[in-house]
Amino acid sequence: MVSTFEKVSCSFLRYVRGTTNPPKSIYTWSRKKYGYREDLIRYWLKKYKNVSIGKYTYGWQNMSPFDMIASIGAFTSIGKNILLVPTNTHNIHYVTTSPILANPSFRMMNNMTYEERHPAQSIHIGNDVWIGSNSMIFQDVTIGDGAVIGAGSIVRKDVPPYAVVINTDQILKYRFDKEICRKLLEIKWWDWEDNKIKKRN
């Protein structure tokens, strides 16, 4: 559990640095004290970026732009170069598909709302998910518990629990039969205490 001293230290660093991005010192501190549970870095992300990440999940740093992530479950493995795709950058329903209306650098978006200009923090990734390198995940997608996203896949719609997805939204198969999937979702082993998981291993 993150200590009061650590929470105060995070607050101080956040104030001094003026950014919600965690500093290297927090990464180092978190790994040294909490190992791959990453309790301290997960506290920072929840507190200052409003992103919930479960224990023993790794590779979330490989997702860009990270601000589109709403939550990632526990025990999730994320490969390199994961591109998160907003759906409002090149809107085909506008007169132009140019990003001039979505990018503030062009100064041509006075009449657009904040929601229209910024991609929503709307991607949810479940527990025990494996996302292969060089995949693309679109805005508003939910990837269910236990799912596998093959390397280089394009995910534009929700992925059911324990589905194995390849290419563009193609469900190749499920990791287990329906009954086993149901039981795994029922017991929610990823919520167990570490000692219980070790005993059942």
The angle, 0 to 180 degrees and rounded to 10, between the axes of the packed helices 4-17 and 39-49 is 50
To the query of whether residue 90 is one of the catalytic residues in this protein, the response is: yes
The catalytic position among 90, 93, 118, 124 is 90
Tell me which residue has tokens 């995949």: 135
Q: Which residues are catalytic?
A: 90
